[in-house]
Structure 1
Amino acid sequence: MNQSIHNSEFMNQLANVVLAFVKDKLELLMKEELTNFLTVEKPELQNTRNGYYSRTLETQFGKINDLHVPRDRQGEFRTELFEPYQRRDGWLEEAVIRMYKGGMSTREVGDFIECILGTHYSPATVSNITNTVLQDVHAWQNQPLNKRYSVLYIDGIHFSLRRDSVATEVIYVAMAIDEEGHRQIIGFHVGGNESAHGWKMFLQELYERGAKEFLLGVFDGLIGLEEAFHSVYPKADVQRCVVHKMRNTFPKVRVKDKVEFLGNLKEVYNAPCYEEAVRQFHAVELKWSKQYPRELASWRADLPVLLTFYKYPVDIWKSIYTTNAIERTVKEIRKRLYPMNSVPNIDAAEKIAYLVVTDYNERWSKRIIRGFGMEETKKAFEKMFRERYGD
């Protein structure tokens, strides 16, 4: 017990020493600023010092209650360390946004700040701080895109959104791979029920922002989505996600047949070439058509768009026959939305999506997806772009 008390006293003393040190250094910097202002920046004013005024400032080291801010006689000087009416040094806003991004609710963030600083922050106050992100969201959603990308992945995130009542809506998400092989989320749109028309409007926004040319679109089998995609990008190929197709088939197969039947289907898209993949599928039909005629009829109808990837360089096949490349981001956004029984409004959903998306884009900025950076792949893409879109 005594040891605990001594440790607590020591930590309090250390915190006070650090805070005093920060106060002294801030005051010293402001004095130097004023000297520079009077002698270098504005010597023509024939201005002089005029004492100081006291104010408070919350810093990451604690609250300074009696910070001396120097002033000049003509009232022209403004320190660059903080704004005149700023009561925090900026760290708290950044911390709030990071906590919100990390999955804490506005109430949890407020309670945490009160515990640390002793200052009450209501959920509304925390929400107002995070609202500064909305300006960045709108700027990001309107920034110009590259003209040309090799691959476009699209996927939707369903979540509960509160308007006048709670209902399931969607976040449309698009990820593209540029000509150098870097991936990035290039757009998202929050709201509405997922539909082919909704995707068409979203894709049209990408087109209007400058993304005019794609070689391949990779997505799942939503009815009408392929037609919506081709209405905006008629020269691009479509690759239906084989993983989604397998997932949709899985519950329709009897337990005793699942391993063998699905294993046979995997041999189709793991074949070394398109012709062999078609032969493998015919073998699956011969073996299983009596037991699962509807399932195989569905595969037969979709086979052309399930095997599109064979038209592309072999080194990127595994990256383009599934939407796995975008699903990590989708999973992270969904994970962030999940703790909320319902998202209170579209702004909240946009803030969450934006913070996750920009984090991933930053992580990916220097990484090249395997196979996309190879010279053979780049040359193949150049040829495809030239044949479809010209020079």
Structure 2
Amino acid sequence: MILQVGEPRSKEIGAMAVNDSVDPAAWLAEQLRTQDPDLLRSMVQTMAETLMSAEADSLCGAGYGERSSERTNRRNGYRTREWDTRAGTVELAIPKLRTGSYFPHWLLERRRRAEQALISVVATSYLLGVSTRRVDKLVEQLGIKHISKSQVSEMAKVLDGQVEAFRTRPLDAGPYAFVWLDALTQKVREGGRIINVHVLVATAVNNNGNREILGLEVTSAEDGAGWLTFLRGLVARGLSGVQLVTSDAHTGLTTAVAAALPGACWQRCRTHYLRNLLTCVPKSAQPWVATLVRTIFDQPTAEQVRTQHAWVIDALSAKYPAACDHLDAAREELLAFAAFPRETWRQIWSNNPQERLNKEIRRRTDVVGIFPDRGSIVRLIGAVLAEQTDEWTEARRYMGLDVLAKTRLRLIPGDTPQHNPLPQPLTA
């Protein structure tokens, strides 16, 4: 089946005999270019028009543009109708027939229930990896029967094309001064077994001060090779101007950052680091040690931050030498944030912004539990990330333009300052 949503809807152009198929990737690229703020509304429109096209093909006895002796009718352009849904008002192109008339009765009867069913088709397609048998059952809720396997597969391709276009779009809103990296573990069936795979996610602040999800990748192992491939892919798409990367001490990540983003500093997430540090002291002393370490980040200037760090090391040296050595070895990676404007510190010294995004991803993936394949992981998480990026585009700036200007100016005067070295990951 060919997705038939691309023919011009005006009467003048609609009467022309043109091929009304559309390239899904090109369609989504246009949505992203025009910064369509509501990806879900576009998906609902695409799915509804695909289902109507399938039903019209069934009434004609053959697919659009197909020569067949079994054909009983032909298409005759489109008419438009607005459809009010909770995803917004959707303008649908309803196929017209040469003989007789066609109108999807699910638009007339029980509109609200039909709209819920249609959105559930979109959502469940993501959640279930677009199982053709399951989607066929779901569209029956709309009164559309006998959707073939090839037609359901074509719907899946549309959804996959939208996510793939988001994942591979050019990163042309740089420079991206600050980048956050993280990894999530998901379960997937492969080769008759259930295995863990790792979803690598990168988020950044673009030149307009908005947060933007740069990309995601599914890897078998969370190692240096996976991180390096992921980062090089981002650079190839246009990632540039990175000054600081914030993350946990994932295996091989720091080496990959040094290789793919030369000149960028690495900030170890203070929240994750503190958890590791507290394993070096007795449980009874952990609240005191945690409070002591937090005073490092309460200082108003970079000089005082480093002074307080040295003081905390001295305070721990007598009773807890292991914690003292651990904190001393992590000095540069833990205090990298201090080289940047004070206004950015709370946003760049931890991975907490990324953690909030991870919670939203897990809220969706927990419904699935075990994914049928890796493609379904990319489909679901990619859709969540695309929606989140749209929301951030509409929201207020994450960082002010004046703050970003200060960040860039720090590299201009005199000699370029030496960046903090990228040490190997530390373990408690």
TM-score norm. by structure 1 comes to: 0.72
Which residue in 1 is equivalent to 2:123? 98
Which residue in 1 is equivalent to 2:159? 133
**Are 2:107 and 1:82 aligned?**
no
SS in 1 for 2:368: coil
Q: Which residue of 324, 327, 344 maps to 2:352?
A: 324
CA–CA distance in 1 between the matches of 2:149 and 2:369?
Answer: 16
1:275-314 paired onto structure 2 within 5 Å = 275-314=303-342
Which residue in 2 is equivalent to 1:179? 207
1:92-171 paired onto structure 2 within 5 Å = 94-99=119-124, 129-146=155-172, 147-164=174-191, 165-171=193-199
> Do the aligned partners of residues 192 and 245 (structure 1) sit closer, same or farther apart at CA in structure 2, a change above 3 Å counting?
same
Q: Which residue of 335, 338, 352 maps to 2:366?
A: 338
Opposite residue 181 of structure 2, the aligned amino acid is I
> Do the aligned partners of residues 108 and 271 (structure 1) sit closer, same or farther apart at CA in structure 2, a change above 3 Å counting?
farther
CA–CA distance in 1 between the matches of 2:198 and 2:121?
Answer: 26
- Contact 1:215–1:385 (8 Å) recurs in 2: no
CA–CA distance in 1 between the matches of 2:382 and 2:314?
Answer: 49
Which residue in 2 is equivalent to 1:381? 407
CA–CA distance in 1 between the matches of 2:375 and 2:147?
Answer: 20
More helix by share: 1
How far has the Cα of 1:287 moved from its partner? Answer: 2.5
**Are 2:247 and 1:248 aligned?**
no
SS in 1 for 2:228: helix
| Uncovered stretches (5+) of structure 2, i.e. residues with no partner | 1-8, 17-48, 61-72, 80-92, 108-113, 418-428
- Residue deviations 1:46-83 (CA, integer Å, cap 9, x gap): xxxxxxxxxxx9999xx99xx99xxxxx9673225335
CA–CA distance in 1 between the matches of 2:136 and 2:76?
Answer: 35
How far has the Cα of 1:288 moved from its partner? Answer: 2.2
**Are 2:288 and 1:260 aligned?**
yes
Ranked by relative contact order (alpha carbons within 8 Å, sequence separation 6 or more), the top structure is 2
SS in 1 for 2:176: strand
Which residue in 1 is equivalent to 2:64? none
SS in 2 for 1:144: coil
How far has the Cα of 1:166 moved from its partner? Answer: 1.3
CA RMSD in angstroms comes to: 4.0
CA–CA distance in 2 between the matches of 1:238 and 1:217?
Answer: 5
SS in 1 for 2:372: coil
TM-score norm. by structure 2 comes to: 0.66
Percent identical:
22
